[in-house]
Amino acid sequence: MPPWLAQPEAGGQPSPWANDRSLSAESKKTLLAWLDSKDRPEGNAGDAPKPIQWLSDWSLGQPDVVFGFPQPVAVKAEGTMGYRNIEIPTNFTEDRWITAAQVLPGAREVVHHVGVFIAKNGAMGGGDGLNYLALYVPGTSVEEFPAGMAKKVPAGAVLRFQMHYTPNGRATTDSTRLGLYFAKEPPQWEVRNAAAGNSKIDIPPGEPNYELSGEVSLPPNVLILGFFPHMHLRGKAFRFDLVQADGTTRPILNVPRYDFNWQLTYDLATPMPSGRGLRIKATGWFDNSAANKANPDPSKNVHFGEQTTDEMMGGVVKYAVPIPRPAQTASR
């Protein structure tokens, strides 16, 4: 089963995460005991789940609209490739509200990540510094918003696909697609994103515990929905802290063993109201030593960069703002 990387709550408290897929202590005990047994007996076949039948590539069913590349992108066999930015017009004649999105890479073996951003009149929209619509990274490809919440795609918007390819020794082509699901009713909340990151990365050779932080302020009267930590191969651990207006701090998400191959989103089961002056602090730790088996070169001084062998430190915060409603017409 896919891993779950968030640190468990202290004292056996229930998990605050809606998408927590960790095993309970009792389940782990049962599984390990079965693995340690000599014969590993089969359980009651009648209790086994039915085999999964994949009726579609789309996890949430057929999307309302699918956007794809006008022509396949050639991915070379060797070397590195800079980001490819591909723009696809939506041709929406009116604003559309999106309740879910899924990115489907055409050639998963060479697609490192995909970020789909909303652009309008040649500029990135949103005003919050990170107005991405959808994301694909190892471990994450589908995003569905809570009931009554949606992201806005303005009329006339252009979708900008930021494609990062990693050649694997065989030349190929990629035709990535994006599926969008429309809101059936007017949403009450607009989903947005903010970034608590830091690009001033300077990791010395052999450094086993390099620490870097960044902060972002959130507007008052919004709902915090979840978090997404992002680092590369030297990523070791990540933590999000809530910083109140008086300076007091408390941890909200701790990922003690970050895994570049499983970049998970962490969605709160109950959205958290923000207060005036609230800040989110994101802290990442990096291991540039030879003890890090994923480290491509512990003798290298590492800086910020797009390639996997470079590093990034980004903490995305997903939140929702209330959508103003038109004033009701006064009764006569």
* Maximum alpha-carbon separation in the chain: 82
- What type of residue is 266? Y
Among candidate residues 224, 215, 221, the one with its CA nearest the CA of residue 16: 224
Domain with CATH 2.60.120.230 in the chain: 65-185, 192-322
Other Cβ atoms less than 10 A from the Cβ of 60: the count is 15
Q: Which helix (H) or strand (E) covers residue 27, if one does?
A: helix 25-36
Other Cβ atoms less than 10 A from the Cβ of 252: the count is 18
**For the segment 30-66, what is each residue's pLDDT rounded down to a tens digit?**
888 888 888 888 888 888 888 777 667 899 999 999 9
DSSP 154-202: -TT-EEEEEEEE---SS-EEE--EEEEEE-SS--SEEEEEEEEE----E
DSSP class of 278 = -
**For the segment 168-202, what is each residue's pLDDT rounded down to a tens digit?**
999 999 999 999 999 999 999 999 999 999 999 99
**So what CATH class is 65-185?**
mainly beta
The three-state secondary structure class of 31 is helix
pTM of the model: 0.86
Q: What is the pLDDT along the chain (332 residues), one digit of tens a residue?
A: 678 899 988 877 889 999 888 887 788 888 888 888 888 888 888 888 887 776 678 999 999 999 999 999 999 999 999 899 999 999 999 999 999 999 999 999 999 999 999 986 544 444 343 478 999 988 888 999 999 999 999 999 999 999 999 999 999 999 999 999 999 999 999 999 999 999 999 999 999 999 999 999 998 889 999 999 999 999 999 999 999 888 899 999 999 999 998 999 999 999 999 888 889 999 999 999 999 999 999 999 999 998 889 999 999 999 999 998 776 434 44
CATH number listed for the domain at residues 192-322: 2.60.120.230
The answer to whether the CB of 10 falls within 8 A of the CB of 250 is: no
- Position 1 scores a pLDDT of 64
- Position 214 scores a pLDDT of 96
